[in-house]
Structure 1
Amino acid sequence: MPRQLALFICVVFMLWLSTRDRKLRPMSSAALWIPLLWFLILGSRPVSYWFGAGLRVETPDDYLDGSPFDRIVFLLLLAMGIVVLVRRGVNWRRIFLSNRWVFAFFLYCAVSIIWSDYPFVSFKRWIKDLGNVVMVLIILTEKDRVKATRAVLARFTYITIPLSIVLIKYYGELGRYLNSTWQTSYCGVTMEKNALGCIAFLSGIFLVWDLMEKRTSQEVKADRTDLLNRMVLLSMVCWLLVKAQSSTSLVCFVLGLCIMLAMRLPFARLQVRYLGGYALGTVFLVLLFYAVPAVREGLVAFLGKDMTLTGRTDIWTDLLRERINPLLGTGYQSFWLGPRVEHYWAKWVFHPNQAHNGYLETYINGGLIGVCLLMTMIVSTGSNLRKDLLLGSSYGTLRFSFFVTVICYNWTEAMFNRLTPIWFVLLIAALNYPRLTRAMAGNIARDSHGGFGRKLSREQSNVAIPSGAVL
């Protein structure tokens, strides 16, 4: 098949899926397009790459400069997102109090810019990371946050999954690349194979949740085409997971699937009461994994990896030997800059730009204080999700699946505090917005008619709605 025809069919398929979803999974307001565009950029490539103006990272100095074009795109989306939140009249005090540990972590990251060797670079990266919070808050402050989350994740899946397959099969110069060992790897719409595996497993978890959520819906029963669409997309996800050859992504997909299936069983849902105990048990198993060579060798062999986890453990050893301030680290996202990255690029042929462990990455950038704040944020999020699950929340099941899989994913990839879909969905799981006000709901209703609303007066923003309102 000519590749132009394949691309045309793919675009028609994506448009058809989006058109059908205007009823089943509608974009409840025009403002939702802002976080959707942001999420699409995180899950694919910088906008400049699609226009042939992407920055080629060939030297460590390229990380310092960045792409001016992409910087403008992110700033525009961030500015529009802030305008949306301001005009919705969100209660910032409630947001900070409801998410105190998330913002404590972000605040510490901002303070750590002070002792960074490259404070301006760190500051720019922190501003972009703050954009993740703004985008998630736009979703959470919709009149129905569950429908808003579903709409954004669905359209993300419709675009990235089919397009990745077309790029891999018909546009090899975009969808494939030669890795450091000169073997062909597949990346689809992303930049490398692990990123492809990441968007595949996140999309797969969402599709399974969406299928289970809609299983009893009268709309879906009357329209079996929607079920067929989901099954086709799931088969695409599985194909991409195989092509990506990302063991971490595959394990996380299976783990997320098991969580969602288990949460439908009354017995398993009751076990959520003991979530803290299971978490401690998991920590014990991780320690056992490293303490007993036979256990480690068996699991690594099962995953098809070598004992170094494709060189990761060697990098971890080198990083733990680095002479950095153990309490404060090197400053926000500044370790992989300057002489340090030059040293690691000279030593490793694949030119690492991360620790391939989110917790170790947090340590080298933010020190033990940063790690403690991150872990506190994770524990706080787990506690909140536990309450949702005990109440039987289906949306809580999706958030919990994302939460657990992201924690596991960061054991072999460093995705905290980065412009990645992994960090984005963790914030969806972690952030909460308190009960909506009646006046704010009116603002959001105006959004759904094409505008971004207007600023509320203080009197309007304090009018409460009934306690049973949907968050």
Structure 2
Amino acid sequence: MIWLFVRDNRVRPMPSPESWLPLAWFFIIGTRPLSAWFSIPEEDSADAFLEGSPLDRYSLLALILCGCVVLLRKRPQWRHVLRSNLWFTGFIAYCAISVIWSDYPFVSFKRWVREFGNLVMVVLILTQDDPAKTCRALLARFAYLVIPLSAVLISYFPSLGTYYSSDLAGIAYCGVAIHKNMLGSIMFISAVYLAWELLYVPDAIETKARDLTLLAALWLMAVWLMLVASSSTALICLALGSAMLLMLKLSFARKQVRHLGVYSLLGACLLVALFSLQGAVEVITGAVGRDLTFTGRTELWADVLREPINPLVGTGYQSFWLGARADDLWERYLFHPRQSHNGYLETYLNGGVLGLFLLLAVIASIGKRLKGGLLRGSSFAVLLFSFWVAGLFYNFTEARFVGPNLIWIMLSLAALYQPRKDEALQTAE
């Protein structure tokens, strides 16, 4: 890992000292909290979930404050970035306002502060001189950290890299994360990025055969970790994201980008029709080794929908899984769910119909923005497009909209990213 970091100073140098702030943020929220790394025990109860860890709280707050100090020097730039997508900015603002009607407003506010931290890190990346190269350097170093370290922890430090899973009734593999599904999500992000490097960057001068071999080895290791973790969602979304990367290498597919809105609408209708046919769903779930209930998810979805909430505005930002409601739901399952395992449903529970409408508007605005980038020939827009498509599917079985997670950060980058006119030319050079 040290060797990888040293050699990357030549291939993908960090553009500025403040670029290390997003990398630290990526590592903490993408792997496990600092309290978990230092083996500080956490009580598995709803009350403990309310309080959180002081170490985690203050470490993230320190990163947020440092990021804010940097952005204060770039006032015109960050204002321009935030104004570039009013739907996204409005959604984040609505999340902040929803703290008011939460049953636990202070806890909800603390969680929104982490959401604000996501925004700070995203804007910090986008206000660099070359956001695409900055993000490339960050994702490369993140992959260099989490992929080898996960393999080492699983193989040689099982007290850190594995855990006993009550719902699986056996040993599960988490690597650098705290849960197998989290390991799958960070491997998905890393593997899609590595696939993009292999497919779209080899023409660059600094890329040599040895570099491509190294990237391919890391990609294979990431896939192996997803298989070990038995993360079907991550594997399916990796296949989907890789398919998007391959398709956009074809001139025919690039010509169809102008019809992205029509294809997106057709895809949504096809997905609804597919899930309406029980036999088709059974074939798909069986092919990936899962049952028709998506490993008990459909039962959980039915239970949370029966909970009395305000259908218009929900329970408030990340407030559904708090207090007595969480205690009641925890008693019904062997595992203690802390999310509904569906990003769209989770948004409805916390933000109501209004929040879900704003989220769908954000998704549509991202598609429109990426369409412009793809038409300009931006290779970085291809990467963000792959994350966008796969991320929308990822949220059918995991709640990855909003909150401190890398999938939402990638979607946030796509929402605010504005391709430069000379970007495609520089990539080719």
Partner of 1:369: 354
Deviations 1:331-358 (A, max 9, x none): 1110100111000111111111100000
Deviations 1:12-47 (A, max 9, x none): xx1111111111100010000000000011111101
Does residue 172 of structure 2 align to residue 185 of structure 1?
yes
Give, in angstroms, the shift of residue 468 of structure 1.
Answer: 5.1
Q: 1:269 aligns with which of 246, 251, 254?
A: 254
Partner of 2:148: 162
AA aligned to 2:370 is: L
Partner of 1:210: 197
AA aligned to 2:116 is: L
Give, in angstroms, the shift of residue 317 of structure 1.
Answer: 0.9
Shift of the 409–57 alpha-carbon distance from structure 1 to 2, 3 Å rule, reads farther
Give, in angstroms, the shift of residue 89 of structure 1.
Answer: 3.5
Give, in angstroms, the shift of residue 93 of structure 1.
Answer: 3.7
Q: Identity over the aligned pairs, expressed in percent?
A: 48
Partner of 1:126: 112
Partner of 1:285: 270
Q: 2:55 aligns with which of 59, 64, 69?
A: 69
CA distance in 2, matches of 1:369, 1:267: 38
CA distance in 1, matches of 2:419, 2:220: 38
Partner of 2:94: 108
AA aligned to 1:76 is: A
Does residue 393 of structure 2 align to residue 390 of structure 1?
no
Secondary structure of residue in 1 paired with 2:391:
helix
Does residue 182 of structure 2 align to residue 198 of structure 1?
no
Instruction: Give the paired residue count.
Output: 424
Deviations 1:74-125 (A, max 9, x none): 1100000011111133344423320211110011111111110000000000
**Structure 1: 5+ residue stretches without partners:** 1-13, 436-466
Q: 1:230 aligns with which of 190, 210, 215?
A: 215
Does residue 43 of structure 2 align to residue 45 of structure 1?
no
Partner of 1:27: 14
Secondary structure of residue in 2 paired with 1:350:
coil
Tell me if structure 2 keeps the 8 A contact 1:115–1:330.
yes
Q: 2:341 aligns with which of 356, 359, 366?
A: 356
Segments of 4+ moved more than 4 angstroms:
467-471
When structure 1 is superposed on structure 2, of 307-316 and 416-425 the one drifting more is: 416-425
Secondary structure of residue in 2 paired with 1:185:
strand
Tell me if structure 2 keeps the 8 A contact 1:388–1:396.
yes
Give, in angstroms, the shift of residue 52 of structure 1.
Answer: 2.4
Tell me if structure 2 keeps the 8 A contact 1:94–1:433.
no
Q: 1:141 aligns with which of 90, 110, 127?
A: 127
Tell me if structure 2 keeps the 8 A contact 1:137–1:433.
no
Give, in angstroms, the shift of residue 434 of structure 1.
Answer: 8.7
AA aligned to 2:204 is: S
CA distance in 2, matches of 1:19, 1:91: 31
**Structure 2: 5+ residue stretches without partners:** none
AA aligned to 2:124 is: I
Deviations 1:253-272 (A, max 9, x none): 00011100100101011111
Q: Which has the larger radius of gyration?
A: 1
Partner of 2:83: 97
Partner of 1:244: 229
Deviations 1:374-427 (A, max 9, x none): 000010010000111111110100010111111110110011111111111111
Partner of 2:206: 219
Tell me if structure 2 keeps the 8 A contact 1:94–1:434.
no
CA distance in 1, matches of 2:83, 2:190: 31
Secondary structure of residue in 1 paired with 2:237:
helix
CA distance in 1, matches of 2:212, 2:308: 55
Higher RCO (Cα < 8 Å, 6 or more apart): 1
Secondary structure of residue in 2 paired with 1:161:
helix
Secondary structure of residue in 1 paired with 2:75:
coil
Tell me if structure 2 keeps the 8 A contact 1:141–1:433.
no
Tell me if structure 2 keeps the 8 A contact 1:95–1:434.
no
Tell me if structure 1 keeps the 8 A contact 2:81–2:123.
no
CA distance in 2, matches of 1:57, 1:278: 47
Partner of 2:408: 423
Secondary structure of residue in 2 paired with 1:218:
coil
Deviations 1:418-441 (A, max 9, x none): 111111111121113697xxxxxx
Tell me if structure 2 keeps the 8 A contact 1:187–1:196.
yes
CA RMSD of aligned residues (A): 1.6
Tell me if structure 2 keeps the 8 A contact 1:358–1:415.
yes
Tell me if structure 2 keeps the 8 A contact 1:167–1:189.
yes
AA aligned to 2:15 is: S
- With the length of structure 1 as denominator, give the TM-score of the two structures: 0.88
- With the length of structure 2 as denominator, give the TM-score of the two structures: 0.96
CA distance in 1, matches of 2:76, 2:131: 14
CA distance in 1, matches of 2:202, 2:419: 29
Tell me if structure 1 keeps the 8 A contact 2:381–2:419.
no
Does residue 157 of structure 2 align to residue 171 of structure 1?
yes
CA distance in 2, matches of 1:99, 1:434: 14
